[in-house]
Amino acid sequence: MKKLFSAFLFFCSLVSISQEVKPKETTIELYGFVRYEAFWDTYKGLNAANEQFFVLPLYAGVDANGEHINQTPTYNFSSMATRFGIRINGPEIFKAKTSGNIETDFAGDLGNNPAMFRVRQANVVFSWPESSLLVGQTWHPFWSGKVFPTVGGLNTGCPFQPFNRSPQLRFDYKPNPKFILSAAMVSEFQYKSYGFTKIDAMNPKSMAIDKSECFTRNAGIPELIANIETNNGGFTLGAGTSLKYIKPTLYTVGTESKKYVSDDLVQSLSFMGYTQYVKNMFTIRAKAVLGQNMTHLTIPGGYGVNSVDQATGAMTYTPYNTLTSFVNAVYGKKYQVGLFAGYLKNMGTTDALYNFGTSADPATITPGMVPNVASIYRVAPHFAINVSKVRMVFEYELTSAAYGSGKIDLADGLYSSSTDVTNHRGQLMLMYSF
């Protein structure tokens, strides 16, 4: 860590020297903030960054007395979301203005090593009068630019708001200042899809599932995204669509434990729409996403095995469909009040699931991020104080999830009943910007 930080300071000093030589060629702006969070939870959840990034309460069953195992008070104090970045404005190249952005924090591998130094954004932008080309890592196009929730928590409305930064190529066309058309090819890096790390359809209990960027890379096709946005005064309206492929395994295992190359892919389509209205000190925004297998966007779901070839073990797949939405309203400047409300619904699989069990006791294989969640909702009011470079937020966040229980319906991957779990989070966030 010390070596990385020293290298970063050395790089900044070199840039400063180059600025002195050619002050008109390149300008550098440092930015960032120190961020501290203290929070208290009542139910342990699916989370990242030492529970700082809370997604939803995680049902882990009940004990011998019928009490929920994960229903326990917990807290944490953390500053790992502190970040800093560099904005670079460079010389004209190919008749385009050039700029770059490098941004980092200490949230690292959010699941395994959250205190590790990591790259959040690293990109170069070529800007012409009516278009621009971004090359590098930045927010996923389904993040929707500047239309995202204002809340106190690090989760920024996730899982109701797509959350993902990925390497990409994105072209924006702006025939006028009020209208933007975008097309992008996106890969995966820190936010990943699920697939098989151990495969044997003849022995399903031995199969293992994990997430990796390799499942989309092995498909040979990046995620393809098209967006449209219009702005008029304080009103913004946008929409987008995504086509994604993943290859869950490179081979399958058939009879006599023979291996066979697999060419089967999971195809996923997703759509989004969003709007925002800003007037004086009041902002209201809303967004809805209907999509398939959106785990790389930190949205629960995934896919299931649809069929199995008994000779080769070859499998076909069907994606889960998920609807997620939110409304967020904020009023004030120095003293600010806000409310976030989100709802997510598991709409089930597109096609029927393959039964690895019996008719009396069906069993399925469904890689993904808690695909057994039936629905989630969140209500989160906050109060903030903004003074100069300091922002302090007090927020109460209620997140409730219904987990499928009972017998699974093979027709759509949903369950006959559900178990409700709820987390109450109280948190304080203090941020000093520079």
- pLDDT tens-digit readout, 322-367: 999 999 999 999 999 999 999 999 999 999 999 999 988 999 999 9
Whether 16 maps to a domain, the answer reads no
The CATH number of the domain where 408 resides is what? 2.40.160.10
Q: Is 149 helix (H, G, I), strand (E, B) or coil?
A: coil
Give the closest residue to 138 by CA, choosing from 186, 195, 68, 201.
186
Tens digits of residue pLDDT in 123-144? 999 999 999 999 999 999 999 9
Instruction: State the Cα torsion 369-144-155-45 to the nearest 10°.
Output: -20
User: Is-contact 382 338, C-beta < 8 A?
Assistant: yes
Strand partners, 166: 138
Per the listing, tokens 């302090």 go with 392
DSSP 71-99: ---EEEEE-TT-EEEEEEEEEEETTEEEE
Query: What is the gyration radius of the CA atoms in the chain, in angstroms?
Result: 23
pLDDT of res. 11: 45
What's the rounded Cα separation, in Å, for the pair 57 and 47?
9
User: Is-contact 322 295, C-beta < 8 A?
Assistant: no
Whether 17 maps to a domain, the answer reads no
Whether 215 maps to a domain, the answer reads yes
Whether 76 maps to a domain, the answer reads yes
Cα–chain center distance at 355: 31
Q: Is 306 helix (H, G, I), strand (E, B) or coil?
A: strand
Cβ burial, residue 30 (10 Å; 0-12/13-18/19+): exposed
Averaged pLDDT for residues 131-160: 96
What's the rounded Cα separation, in Å, for the pair 101 and 122?
5
Name the average pLDDT for the chain: 93
Whether 18 maps to a domain, the answer reads no
pLDDT of res. 8: 46
Q: Is the bond into 159 cis (omega within 30 degrees of 0)?
A: yes
Q: Is 264 helix (H, G, I), strand (E, B) or coil?
A: coil
What's the rounded Cα separation, in Å, for the pair 141 and 138?
9
Would you state the structure tokens that stand for residue 156, as one six-digit string?
A: 């920024």
pLDDT of res. 113: 60
Tens digits of residue pLDDT in 221-270? 999 999 999 999 999 999 999 999 999 999 999 998 999 999 999 999 99
Task: With a cut of 50, say whether residue 15 has pLDDT above it.
Answer: no
What's the rounded Cα separation, in Å, for the pair 273 and 285?
11
Whether 150 maps to a domain, the answer reads yes
Whether 2 maps to a domain, the answer reads no
The H or E element spanning position 215 is: helix 214-217
Q: How confident is the model at residue 106 (pLDDT cuts 50, 70, 90)?
A: confident
pLDDT of res. 12: 52
User: HSE-up of 79 (CA within 13 Å, CB side)?
Assistant: 8
Cβ burial, residue 160 (10 Å; 0-12/13-18/19+): buried
Averaged pLDDT for residues 83-109: 92
What's the rounded Cα separation, in Å, for the pair 65 and 55?
27
Q: Which amino acid is at 194?
A: Y
Whether 15 maps to a domain, the answer reads no
Please state, for a pLDDT cut of 90, what percent of the chain lies above it: 85
Tens digits of residue pLDDT in 377-417? 999 999 999 999 999 999 999 999 999 999 999 999 999 99
Averaged pLDDT for residues 8-13: 49
Give the closest residue to 122 by CA, choosing from 106, 102, 147.
102
Averaged pLDDT for residues 187-210: 92
Tens digits of residue pLDDT in 35-69? 999 999 999 999 887 788 999 999 999 999 999 99
Task: With a cut of 70, say whether residue 9 has pLDDT above it.
Answer: no
pLDDT of res. 107: 75
How many domains does one find in the chain? 1
Task: With a cut of 50, say whether residue 152 has pLDDT above it.
Answer: yes
Residue range of the domain that includes 200: 24-433
